[in-house]
């Protein structure tokens, strides 16, 4: 290697980038035509090269990954909140509003074979019917109520047209109508089995039992969480279990408020379970985000 090669190799980076004058370019090319070593140097510069991994960017990639998953958690948290509000809204819109009895509310049509049809008025969106035989087996007693709701009144009209009552043999039918808050049921068809009155259809209290069980379970788990708050594994398990009864209690408050009796207990119970699931997810995601926020603050200070 002579001094000319050293000069040319200093110029090669500028030559490769086409940043030299025409005279310099001709000088470099003239030298390259007769110098194999400089030709190899030029070929090495022009060949594509794999850049080594920049280890300095590793923390940035980790931060980017954490921010991505935080955004995913926020999206799921928002979706769970929207779902909880949607279920609560639908439950509120479809909650039965029990209708007081009137002659226009429903009518009866009896057939020769004992079949009796009940035809409902236009304002009826749904009904509930329970029946049983009298103690002597001579009669067939029905308790019926009808309701409307906001959904059927203002959004999607849904009318219940008719129901069929068909006792066995020659049993007579007695039908009482009940409504939420009434002192006693009203005889609307057949003979009165209790002339002195006193027949009352009471709401079911099963939701009250579930509410008390959930509250007691939440209290026990809260005490366990306090006892094991210094043990991370046990505390996390107890915490996630504790959120289940708490979510049920919040779901009950969303659907029924502070009322625990219901004439439609099955419908209300399933509505509570439906709203309980997104609420549970909201609690889990919120606690996880809160812990990450606290850890970030501690890392700063």
CA 212 to chain centre: 23
Pairing of strands 116-120, 106-110: antiparallel
Integer angstrom CA distances of residue 9 from 22, 87, 224 = 17, 75, 76
Residue 182 is predicted with a pLDDT of 79
Contact 116, 110 (CB under 8 A): yes
> How far apart (Å, rounded) are the C-alpha atoms in residues 133 and 26?
115
On whether the pTM is more than 0.85, the answer is no
Residue with tokens 């001709």: 26
- The DSSP line for 111-131 is -TTS-EEEEE-TT--EEEEEE
Burial of 212 (0-12, 13-18, 19+ CB in 10 A): exposed
Burial of 3 (0-12, 13-18, 19+ CB in 10 A): exposed
One pLDDT digit (tens) per residue for the chain, 301 residues = 565 788 888 888 888 888 888 888 888 888 888 888 888 888 888 777 665 555 566 666 776 777 777 788 888 888 988 999 999 998 898 888 999 988 888 888 877 776 788 888 888 888 888 888 877 767 788 889 998 988 887 777 766 678 887 766 556 678 899 988 778 888 888 888 776 667 888 888 899 999 999 999 999 999 999 999 889 889 999 999 999 999 999 999 999 998 998 888 888 999 999 999 999 999 998 888 888 878 777 766 6
């Amino acid at each position: 290697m002579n001094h000319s090669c050293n000069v040319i190799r200093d110029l090669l980076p500028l030559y490769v980038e086409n940043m030299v004058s025409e005279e310099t370019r001709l000088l470099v090319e003239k030298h390259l035509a007769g110098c194999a070593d400089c030709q190899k140097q030029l070929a090495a510069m022009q060949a594509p090269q794999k850049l080594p991994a920049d280890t300095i960017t590793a923390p940035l990639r980790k931060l980017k990954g954490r921010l991505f998953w935080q955004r995913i958690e926020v999206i799921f948290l928002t979706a769970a909140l929207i779902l909880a509000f949607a279920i609560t809204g639908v439950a509120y819109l479809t909650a039965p509003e029990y209708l007081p009895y009137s002659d226009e509310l429903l009518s009866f049509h009896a057939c020769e074979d004992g079949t009796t049809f009940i035809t409902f008025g236009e304002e009826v969106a749904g009904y509930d019917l329970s029946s049983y035989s009298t103690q002597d087996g001579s009669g067939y007693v029905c308790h019926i109520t009808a309701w409307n709701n906001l959904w059927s009144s203002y959004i999607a009209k849904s009318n219940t047209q008719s129901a069929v009552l068909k006792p066995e043999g020659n049993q007579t039918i007695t039908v009482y109508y009940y409504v939420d808050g009434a002192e006693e049921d009203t005889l609307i068809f057949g003979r009165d089995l209790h002339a002195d009155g006193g027949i009352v259809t009471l709401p079911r209290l099963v939701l009250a039992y579930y509410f008390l069980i959930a509250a007691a379970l939440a209290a026990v788990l809260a005490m366990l969480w306090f006892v094991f708050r210094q043990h991370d594994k046990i505390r996390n398990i107890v915490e996630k279990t504790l959120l289940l009864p708490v979510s049920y209690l919040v779901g009950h408050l969303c659907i029924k408020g502070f009322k625990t009796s219901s004439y439609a207990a099955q419908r209300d119970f399933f509505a509570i379970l439906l709203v309980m699931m997104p609420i549970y997810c909201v609690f889990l995601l919120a606690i996880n985000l809160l812990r990450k926020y606290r850890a970030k603050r501690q890392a700063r200070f």
